[in-house]
Structure 1
Amino acid sequence: MEPAVTADPEHLKALSHPLRRRILRHLRGHGTATSTTIAEALGENTGTTSYHLRQLEKYGFIEEIPERSAGRERWWRPTRGPRDVRMPAPEALAPEDRPALAEVLRLGHAEDMALFSRLPEAYERDPDWARLSRGFTHMTREGLAEFFEGYIRLLREHGLAPEEAPPDARPVYIRLFTLTADED
């Protein structure tokens, strides 16, 4: 499966809204929901969540579940499809669209730092679910690209869609980032 690169400026703008990101996380972690159940879970009002759900649908991040929806009650789930969504290189965007990418990256970094701050307590509580590894090595640019693609293959191989997950499966945050160490 080829990775999906989110290079459309409108898609980036849709992802640069904090509440939309919270809604996506909620749907990925808790499964299907309505604007009402999401509003209750996130402490928002239904009108606000309904608007942002429609925006997420417009840009293909979520979809309505027609067989569960009835009348004004619409059920939503994350869009099925490629799970390997990547950000574009800044130079691939027009200069006026780069602030949206910067905001998506800033929000993602803030979310990752919040997750990272939970790690020591989560590891203490249940090290079978809070795994961690720190690595250091030397790689070529090509070797790093191959390593990254291997990591993505492992995620696809071991990851389950919510509807395929057995009862003992749990939603798990997984992060990988690489930085060169020659700037230290």
Structure 2
Amino acid sequence: MTDGSAAGVPRQDDVPPLDPRSLRGLAHPLRVRLLGALREFGPATASALAGRLGESSGATSYHLRQLAAYGFVVDDPGRGTGRERWWRAAHRGSRVDSVTEFMRHPDPEVRGAINTLLYAQAVAHSEELGTWLGTMGEWPEQWQEAFDVSDYTLHLTPLLARELGERLHALVDSYRDRLPEAEAADAARVRVHVHAFPRHAD
């Protein structure tokens, strides 16, 4: 799940919910990365995605076709020439309305798929943060001062935790259209990760 996606936090507009079938179709680490790249960076070929992700073009081509079979990506016929096939994401994001529903599903494949998807998302977040930390010195000082890595411990009920998540996502969404045209040259893609989970006291 990427841009616009959130486990357990319902979203609107171009972010359809996953069902058991689509969940099984997405639950592969490379497919998660492919879909994330298309959503963040726009249309691309299997070869271009292979170069970006450090995979073989055969692997990216196969998994793009699988993503297409489940409705996550579509052809972008307006790009490329000849045999060059371009792909684009079909939606801005995906969402899971109820992780519990999938974790308690009678089909073990569905239960395994939600675990695969969540772990793949966690790994992707870790890699993105690691890349930023490794390249932070290459960015202007303003960006080095603007980045944030924070964590908090709160005592909440499940209801309050859900409310917190919904308010955080609403706040992030409120920044989507705030960029003044005059400042566009100073803008960059900014990744915002949100993780909220309970921990035992011991």
Distance 1:129 1:44, change over 3 A: same
CA shift at 1:33, angstroms?
0.7
**1:138 offset after TM fit, Å?**
2.7
Name 1:103's counterpart in structure 2. Answer: 116
> Which amino acid is 1:112 matched to?
H
Alignment of 1:103-122 (within 5 A): 103-118=116-131, 120-121=133-134
Shift of 1:25: 2.8
Separation in 2 of the partners of 1:47 and 1:123? 33
Aligned-partner SS, 1:180: coil
Separation in 2, partners of 1:178, 1:42: 28
Structure 2: 5+ residue stretches without partners:
1-10, 178-183
- Gap change, CA 1:154 and 1:57, over 3 Å in 2: farther
In the other structure, the counterpart of 2:95 is 85
Which residue is 1:11 aligned to?
Answer: 22
Q: Distance in 1 between matches of 2:155 and 2:58?
A: 51
TM-score by length of 1: 0.75
Q: Which amino acid aligns with 1:104?
A: L
CA contact under 8 A between 1:6 and 1:88: conserved in structure 2? Answer: no
Deviation at 1:167, TM superposition (A): 5.0
Q: Which amino acid aligns with 2:166?
A: E
Does the C-alpha gap of structure 1 residues 141 and 76 become closer, same or farther in structure 2, counting only changes over 3 Å?
same
User: TM-score by structure 2 length?
Assistant: 0.70
Residues 105-140 of structure 1, C-alpha deviations (whole Å, 9 max, x = no match): 222222233344456556666434522232233333
Which stretches of structure 1, 4 residues or more, deviate above 6 A after TM superposition? none
2:193 to 175, 178, 183: 175
Q: Residues of 2 paired with 1:134 and 1:45: CA distance?
A: 37
In structure 2, the residue matched to 1:35 is 46
After TM superposition, the structure 1 = structure 2 runs for residues 7-156 of structure 1, keeping only pairs within 5 Å, are: 7-8=19-20, 10-81=21-92, 83=93, 85-86=95-96, 88-89=99-100, 90-96=102-108, 97-118=110-131, 120-121=133-134, 126-156=143-173
Deviations along 1:63-101, one digit per CA (max 9) or x if unpaired, are: 2223225442222222235x3512632445224221121
Q: CA deviation at 1:13?
A: 2.7
Alpha-carbon spacing, 1:168–1:50, altered in 2? closer, same or farther (3 Å): farther
Inter-partner Cα distance in structure 1 for 2:24 and 2:169 = 25
Q: Which amino acid aligns with 2:32?
A: R
